């Protein structure tokens, strides 16, 4: 159960950044891949054509009395603590579209794309999921150090592209290159805990000279699932007091360990190339993977819905996973879309149900249209006029509004209790339109100065500064 739940998050990590909106092969940002957790062949990082070859993670196992007794039992032939390691990654699979050409010795010639019976087919880099695991490792084995080889075969698969009349205007060749790597695992006792160190290194013999060749023999999206039996992992984010120093001494390289599985469990660690919190989970409101590097589901779904039919057809032809995304968004109901919006969670509180964002009917104490804030001793509320003075830390867009007069439309507070003042510019010809749509500029109270009715600061009416 714990491992299955952890795999759900691990799958999201595996494909994070795999394919970016607008999910088309012709999009420039989809022509320079791949994503997080790439272990490149040795030497390519120094040449500037690929990623580093290794990653490593350190985590802590609790060596309390029960664990110590179990460890002693294992040395005498009993059932003691064990650790099982799962290495997961993607193997590049190049989808090569070839058109029929009788002048070529093979009878085919590679092309970027081909139309077969009005269906568009692209050449594209796909991926094949790979997982390597080994029999559970005992504490005695880990104390001595364990080395495990990782070997993944390459190969070609050919798929004919047939037309309705029985002719074959082309074919798809799916090609994979062999992968090789080495996993090492060892333990050391530290402050009454067992520090487990696991490293993975790409050991490809070839020395690619360009990024395309380097990614062919890379482990992509590489991460670890580590499962303990008869022992408990310790949170490195919130270690118990006795483990604080040992946790602080753990070193990570391109991989970060967090507790995974059901909240409160401690038998699974996810070693992720993306920094996560303990017990990460896929939001129940998410209708499915979107891959686009932690972008917001609702925004991406809405963007997909705005794509033209031709753009959607190209995305569907780019990758089977892109096809799933386009089809899912096209079939999404208004109710399902609404589920993507407006959920507030308490990530550090257990057993708290998701809470809808502020509901005027349930909290009458919050009244943005009537609330006020004191600025330089002057109450400022809806209808007040202010002059904008962006702070030194303001972004470039806010600086464009410096020294401009504005009309306050609301005084609001965020979930952290910070007050923000919503305004529209007095001299903006579209001010009424912005007000109607509810599209306001937001500033902190200290970035505003109250104005009198005639537009001068209250404290300057008598000519004083």
Q: Which two tokens stand for residue 190?
A: 């530290």
Q: Side-chain half-sphere of 49: how many Cα atoms within 13 Å? A: 16
Quote the pLDDT of residue 233.
97
Quote the pLDDT of residue 273.
94
Q: What is the mean pLDDT of residues 342-356?
A: 51
- 36 vs 56: CA distance, rounded Å: 15
- Per-residue pLDDT of 131-167, as tens digits, reads 999 999 999 999 999 999 999 999 999 999 988 888 8
pLDDT for residue 67 is more than 50: no
Q: What is the mean pLDDT of residues 106-117?
A: 89
Q: What is the mean pLDDT of residues 408-422?
A: 85
Long-range contacts of 411-416 (CB under 8 A, 24+ apart): 411/368, 411/371, 411/372, 411/373, 411/380, 411/381, 411/382, 412/368, 412/371, 412/442, 413/366, 415/344
Query: Would you place residue 431 in the very low, low, confident or very high pLDDT band (cuts 50, 70, 90)?
Result: confident
Q: What is the mean pLDDT of residues 179-207?
A: 95
pLDDT for residue 115 is more than 60: yes
Quote the pLDDT of residue 87.
98
- 247 vs 272: CA distance, rounded Å: 17
Of 171-180, 293-302, 444-453, 456-465, which range is least confident?
A: 456-465
Query: Would you place residue 369 in the very low, low, confident or very high pLDDT band (cuts 50, 70, 90)?
Result: low
Longest dimension (CA), the chain: 93
| Burial track 295-316 (b if 16+ CB lie within 10 A, e otherwise) | eebbebbeebeebeeebbbbbb
Q: Cβ(37)–Cβ(53) under 8 Å?
A: no
Q: Phi, psi at residue 373, to the nearest 5°?
A: -140, 145
pLDDT for residue 70 is more than 60: no
- Per-residue pLDDT of 311-328, as tens digits, reads 999 999 998 999 999 999
Q: Where in the chain is the domain with CATH 2.30.30?
A: 372-460
Quote the pLDDT of residue 246.
94
Quote the pLDDT of residue 324.
92
372-460: CATH architecture: Roll (2.30)
pLDDT for residue 249 is more than 60: yes
Of 168-182, 377-391, 448-462, which range is least confident?
A: 448-462
Quote the pLDDT of residue 195.
97
- 64 vs 233: CA distance, rounded Å: 11
What is the average pLDDT score of the chain? 85
């Amino acid at each position: 159960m714990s491992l299955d739940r952890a795999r759900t998050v691990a799958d999201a990590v595996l494909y994070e950044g795999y394919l970016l909106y607008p999910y088309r092969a012709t999009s420039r940002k989809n022509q320079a891949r791949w994503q997080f957790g790439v272990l490149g062949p040795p030497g390519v990082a120094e040449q500037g054509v690929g990623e580093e070859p290794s990653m490593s993670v350190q985590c802590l196992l609790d060596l309390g009395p029960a664990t110590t007794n179990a460890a002693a039992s294992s040395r005498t032939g009993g059932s003691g603590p064990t650790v099982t390691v799962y290495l997961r990654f993607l193997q590049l699979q190049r989808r090569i579209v070839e058109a029929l050409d009788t002048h070529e010795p093979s009878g085919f010639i590679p092309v970027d794309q081909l139309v077969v019976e009005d269906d568009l087919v692209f050449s594209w880099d796909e991926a094949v999921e790979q997982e390597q695991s080994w029999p559970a490792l005992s504490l005695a084995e880990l104390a001595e150090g364990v080395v495990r080889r990782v070997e993944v075969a390459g190969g070609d698969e050919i798929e004919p592209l047939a037309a309705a009349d029985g002719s074959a205007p082309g074919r798809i060749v799916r090609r994979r290159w062999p992968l090789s790597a080495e996993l090492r695992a060892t333990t050391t006792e530290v402050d009454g805990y067992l520090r487990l160190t696991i490293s993975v290194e790409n050991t490809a013999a070839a020395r690619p000279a360009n990024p395309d060749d380097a990614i062919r023999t890379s482990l992509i999206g590489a991460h670890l699932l580590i499962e303990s039996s008869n022992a408990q992992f310790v949170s490195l984010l919130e270690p118990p007091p006795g483990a604080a120093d040992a946790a602080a001494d753990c070193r990570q390289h391109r991989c970060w360990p967090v507790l995974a599985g059901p909240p409160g469990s401690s038998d699974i660690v996810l070693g992720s190339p993306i920094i996560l919190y303990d017990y990460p989970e896929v939001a129940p409101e998410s209708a499915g993977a979107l891959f686009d590097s932690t972008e917001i589901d609702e925004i991406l779904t809405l963007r997909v819905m705005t794509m033209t039919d031709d753009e959607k057809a190209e995305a569907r032809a780019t990758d089977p996973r892109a096809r799933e995304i386009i089809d899912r968004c096209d079939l999404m109901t208004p109710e399902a879309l609404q589920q993507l919006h407006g959920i507030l969670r308490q990530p550090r509180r257990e057993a708290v149900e998701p809470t809808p964002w502020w509901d005027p009917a349930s909290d009458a104490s919050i009244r943005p249209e009537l609330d006020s804030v004191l600025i330089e001793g002057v109450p400022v509320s809806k209808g007040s006029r202010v002059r904008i003075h962006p702070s030194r830390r303001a972004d470039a867009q806010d600086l464009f509004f410096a020294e401009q007069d504005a009309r306050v439309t609301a005084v609001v507070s965020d979930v952290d209790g910070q007050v923000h003042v919503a305004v529209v510019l007095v001299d903006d010809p579209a001010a009424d339109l912005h007000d109607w749509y509810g599209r306001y500029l937001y500033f902190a109270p200290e970035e505003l100065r109250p104005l009198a009715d005639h537009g001068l600061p209250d404290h300057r009416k008598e000519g004083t500064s």
